[in-house]
Amino acid sequence: MKSSSALSILICVAAVAIAPRFAAHNALVVLWVEVAALTALMIAVGVSVTHRFWGILINERNVMSLSRFQAVLWTVLILADYATILLGRAWQGMSLVDAKDLLRPDLLMLMGISYGSAVGTSIVHANKSGKRTPPAALADAQANLNDEDGNFTAAQGVMYKNKDISDANVGDMFQGDELADAHTTDLSKVQMFFFTIVSAVVFLGTADAMFTNMKSISDVLIPQLPENLIALMGISHAAYLGNKAVTRTQQQPSVQAQPQATAPQPSVVTTTGSTVAPTIQQ
């Protein structure tokens, strides 16, 4: 398995490096070859570690992660364009001194939003994973997910976890992360997923038009997304992280020790007929 995975990774890397040699003849075909090769590379890396086809999307809780999906998607799309243009220029013997024109602020912002969201998600999850797992919450999650025997539902702090990596599926990307909401659909995830898909389609469509109409590989730049779309993506990611920061799984309240009741002491009657209340020793 390891040798075959290593061979697959080497073949994918070779394809990424060699395909741009033909960019001057048909850059659009080369672009799609780069996308396919980088996608195959991500799959090969995931398989080599997890032995699962989409293993690169599975996190430490054995669930498919939306933030990982976004990071992988933008890595593939931007690197495919970057490799096609940069290596295409190199194979043609062109100067790479002006290659800095490929790293524009909008691209850095796009990658920053994607990876910033992934890092923020990891921080929030690490904080929630360090909390005590309420037994009642775990039992409720198993009941809500129709797993009363506990065959596949586990916990990591207050976070929902699949017991085995084979239980990971695409639906994980759209469900709640905690024991309290793992059985529900997370609308912030659904919204961000569709924003990501729309942005990726716009990015690829722009790249397709640029490579189709190019006169020389030196004239082509990485596609630029509209500023409003990048701003919407930033807002969507902020809402996504804000929603994740809220802990929905309530800790069980600790039982307070009740003070013991003191038995009433009988009153003492003095020789003068007055009544004296007993003194309670502290």
Q: How confident is the model at residue 10 (pLDDT cuts 50, 70, 90)?
A: very high
Write the pLDDT tens digit of every residue in 126-181.
999 889 998 899 899 999 999 878 888 898 999 999 999 999 999 999 999 999 99
**Residue 115 corresponds to which tokens in the numbers above?**
């990876």
Q: 204: domain range?
A: 2-249
Asked if residue 46 is part of any domain, the answer here is yes
**Residue 36 corresponds to which tokens in the numbers above?**
């396919």
Domains: count for the chain: 1
Asked if residue 216 is part of any domain, the answer here is yes
Asked if residue 9 is part of any domain, the answer here is yes
Q: Is the pTM of this model over 0.95?
A: no
Please report the pLDDT score of residue 160 as a whole number: 93
Please report the pLDDT score of residue 282 as a whole number: 44
CB under 8 Å to 108, separation ≥6 — which residues?
none
Asked if residue 270 is part of any domain, the answer here is no
Q: Which residues of 27-40 are buried (b: 16+ CB within 10 A; e: fewer)?
A: bbebbbbbbbbbbb
Asked if residue 264 is part of any domain, the answer here is no
Asked if residue 149 is part of any domain, the answer here is yes
- Mean pLDDT in the chain? 83
Asked if residue 267 is part of any domain, the answer here is no
Asked if residue 89 is part of any domain, the answer here is yes
What DSSP letter does each residue of 157-186 carry, written as one string?
Answer: TTEEEESSGGG--GGGGGB-SBTTTTTSB-
Mean pLDDT of 250-271: 56
Where on the phi/psi map is residue 273: left (φ > 0), alpha (ψ -120 to 50), or beta? left
Please report the pLDDT score of residue 257 as a whole number: 47
What DSSP letter does each residue of 45-90 carry, written as one string?
Answer: HHHHHHSSTTGGGB-TTSSB-HHHHHHHHHHHHHHHHHHHHHHHHH
Rounded distance between C-alpha atoms, residue 81 and residue 87, angstroms? 10
Write the pLDDT tens digit of every residue in 104-136.
777 778 888 888 888 888 899 899 988 999 889
Contact between 244 and 177 under an 8 Å Cβ cutoff? The reply is yes
